[in-house]
Structure 1
Amino acid sequence: MIDLTDRVAMVTGAGRGIGKATALLLAEQGADVVVTDVVPEREDVGDAVEDRGATALVRELDVTDPAQARAVADDAEAELGGVDVLVNNAGIFPAQSLDEIDHEDWQRVIDVNLTGTFNCTSAVVPGMRDRGYGRIVNVSSAAGGRVGWAGSLSHYAASKAGVVGFTRSAAIDLAPDGITINAVVPGMIDTGAAEEVSSPEEIEAAVAATPVGRQGEPEELASAVVYLSSEPAAFVTGASLVVDGGITLV
């Protein structure tokens, strides 16, 4: 068992799916959790965190707004002592062909998935530097290097590839301050997102192409995030931990 007692974790996009599973698993390992999202389900996740014996600080957060990100970080500092672990999970997953994407569509995906990661990282790093400790985990996607089940994801793929590039470079900047930053790279995770943008036939084909023969569960990705948030991962930084059932191997 990983012990995160006395740590404070902030999870973006924590209202559903991977973010929810991550927030709950962090709480189960002893961390207090700053639960953030734009969807109202964040309140239910906060209740579930407290049901696990942890303290929850629930805040609405649009990660595209750097002022909001700083305000949440300030609240965490004032009420919980600061953010030790940041999980940049908030993201959107639209499907549009290249011909359908206009500038606003492109910018929205980049703003949420990539710039949002930067905004939240920038908000918590000063406090982490002051304490000489931090763990940052960014959720990328196998689509950032290989779109395994469908086209029409060029803006999403670009944003998630950018997350990996940001992670690698930021790791060099942050390492002297006792802060690690890593990425997790999920394949198809059973959150319902794929069903919103892909046909049943496309999903079936992607599952068939996955060596383990199924979609992943949100809790399986959360386990990878929790490891990278822990003391045993202190010598891991700038890495991309692929959690995809092997789909990028074939």
Structure 2
Amino acid sequence: MLDFTDRVAIVTGAARGIGKATALRLAEEGADVVVTDVAAERDDVADAVEERGQSALALEVDVSDEAEVEAAVEETIEEFGRIDALVNNAGIFPTADLAALSAEDWQRVIDVNLTGAFYCTQAVCPTMREQGYGRIVNVSSAAGGRVGWAGNLAHYAASKAGMVGFTRSAAIDLGPDGVTINAVVPGMIDTGAAERVSSDEEIEAAVSAIPVGRQGDPEELANVIAFLASEASSYVTGASLVVDGGITKV
């Protein structure tokens, strides 16, 4: 078991899907959790954290807004006195043919998916460095290196590839201060995202190519995130851990 007793974690984009599963997984292991999202369901997730015996703080945060991020971090410190883990999960998943992709739509995806992770990471750095301890986990995507089941994702793929590069470089900056930063690279996780951008036939074809023969569950990715957010991963930093049922290996 992982032990998050007396640890405090911030999870962005935690109202549903991977973020929700991660928030609940961390709570089950003893963490107090700050649940951030622009969606109102964040309050329900915070209630579920408390049902697991842990303290929760639900905050409406647009991670692309630096001021909102800084305010959330300040409120977390006021409430709990520390920040031990940050999971940069918030992201958007629009589709657009490259020829029709507007500069505004491109920038919005980069702002939320990549710049948001930068804002959040930068905001927690002073506290983690002062503590001499911190765990940061960035949620990337197999789309950042290989898009096997849907096109029209140039902006999304660029943002998720950027997360991996950001992780590698930031690990060098943060390592001497006891702070690790890693990325998880999920493939097809059953969050409903694939159904919004692909036909049933496209999804079936993609799933048939996955060695384990199915989409992953959000809880399966949350298990990996929890490990990287824990003390157990103390000698792992700058890594990108692929969690995709083997699809990128075939």
Under a length normalisation based on structure 2, what TM-score does the superposition of the two structures give?
0.99
1:73-112 equivalences in 2 (<5 Å) = 73-112=73-112
- 1:92-114, CA deviations, whole angstroms, 9 ceiling, x for partnerless residues? 01111101201001000000000
The answer to whether residue 162 in structure 2 is matched with residue 162 in structure 1 is yes
Identity %: 73
Amino acid at match of 1:170: A
Unmatched tracts of structure 2, length 5 or more: none
Contact 1:73–1:82 (CA under 8 A) maintained in structure 2: no
- 1:158-217, CA deviations, whole angstroms, 9 ceiling, x for partnerless residues? 000000000000000000000000000000000001101111111111101100000000
Runs of 4+ in structure 1 off by over 4 angstroms are none
Unmatched tracts of structure 1, length 5 or more: none
The match for 2:152 is 152
Amino acid at match of 1:64: S
Q: Alpha-carbon deviation of 1:150?
A: 1.1
Task: State the distance in 2 between where 1:57 and 1:128 align.
Answer: 19
The match for 1:141 is 141
Contact 1:19–1:89 (CA under 8 A) maintained in structure 2: yes
The match for 2:186 is 186
Q: Alpha-carbon deviation of 1:83?
A: 1.3
The match for 1:225 is 225
1:112-151 equivalences in 2 (<5 Å) = 112-151=112-151
| CA-based RMSD | 0.5
Task: State the distance in 2 between where 1:213 and 1:96 align.
Answer: 28
Task: State the distance in 1 between where 2:103 and 2:150 align.
Answer: 22
Amino acid at match of 1:134: G
Task: State the distance in 1 between where 2:100 and 2:19 align.
Answer: 29
Task: State the distance in 2 between where 1:116 and 1:76 align.
Answer: 17
Task: State the distance in 1 between where 2:150 and 2:57 align.
Answer: 37
Task: State the distance in 1 between where 2:149 and 2:247 align.
Answer: 10
Amino acid at match of 2:92: I
The match for 1:238 is 238
Q: Alpha-carbon deviation of 1:224?
A: 0.3
Q: Please identify, of 73-82 and 17-26, the stretch whose mean Cα deviation from structure 2 is larger.
A: 73-82
Task: State the distance in 1 between where 2:190 and 2:112 align.
Answer: 21
The answer to whether residue 44 in structure 2 is matched with residue 44 in structure 1 is yes
Q: Alpha-carbon deviation of 1:48?
A: 0.1
Q: Alpha-carbon deviation of 1:148?
A: 1.4
Q: Secondary structure at the match of 2:99?
A: coil
Contact 1:35–1:58 (CA under 8 A) maintained in structure 2: yes
Q: Alpha-carbon deviation of 1:55?
A: 0.2
